[in-house]
Copies of this chain bind each other. A is one copy, B any other.
Amino acid sequence: MSDDQIPLADPPFDAAESDDARHRERMAKKKVVRDRMLASKATAKGLLVVHTGTGKGKSTAAFGMVLRCIGHGFPVAIVQFVKGAKTTAERDFLEGFPDLVTIRAMGEGFTWETQDRERDIASARKAWEVAKGFLADPTLHMVVLDEINIVLRYGYLEVAEVIDAVTARPAGQHAVLTGRNAPEALIEAADLVTEMKMIKHPFRAGIGPQPGVEF
């Protein structure tokens, strides 16, 4: 059970609380409410998950979920819409699990790297064709479309086409779409949306990307 799993608002908290009996009683009540809530939930359902916002952790949390899937022995596919040929630690690592993980890095860098709109559109389409294949594959427990929101924002793919394919995926399959500026229609369609909000970023303090953190 992780902290991430508490959708309920915290009760008002009195830091000076010293009455253990009161604490116990409050916590017992919280447990009843929580157990009842969890018991009422349906069990297996493929979620449409969106990680957006300008903060860090969107792709990283998707990789954390991939790690959980590998731990369960569930097959996963990942399409990277922006990352390309250049290898990364996460890709190196995931390629060590060829029975469970398929990872296709099909980008050619950010659009300010390629500086060629036609080429960007062509590479986005190519990646999307591969993604559609994964979204139609009922053997996959999870499909990660990494940075697809960027491609959608620049209009390199049609939002409606992506939502249609994602919505039509097998019922038990989780789809995780990452990248800043997720389109409103995608947020509407999603089951779980987290905005990674930048509170403090080391680049602003003159600190560059760190291996193990950023790549």
User: Given A28-B112, A53-B197, A212-B65 in contact, is the A72-B89 Cβ separation under 8 Å?
Assistant: yes
Is B27 in contact with A112, judged by CB distance below 8 angstroms?
yes
Complex Cα spacing A174 to B211, Å: 10
How many identical subunits does the complex contain? 2
Residues of A within 8 Å of B, CB-based: how many?
Answer: 114
**A41-B208, A89-B72 known; A58-B3 Cβ under 8 A:** yes
Interface residues of A in 29-49 (CB under 8 A from B): 30-31, 34, 37-38, 40-47, 49
Binary interface profile of A, 106-128, with partner B (CB < 8 Å = 1, else 0)?
00011111111110000000000
A83 contacts the other chain (Cβ, under 8 Å)?
Answer: yes
A31 to B115 alpha-carbon distance, docked (Å): 9
Q: Is the interface of A mostly helix, strand, loop or mixed?
A: mixed
Nearest CB of chain B from residue A14's CB, rounded to whole Å: 10
A161 interfacial by beta-carbon distance below 8 Å: no
**Extra 10 A-B pairs, beta carbons < 8 Å, given A4-B59, A50-B199:** A2-B82, A20-B117, A34-B112, A55-B194, A63-B63, A68-B89, A68-B90, A68-B93, A71-B92, A194-B199
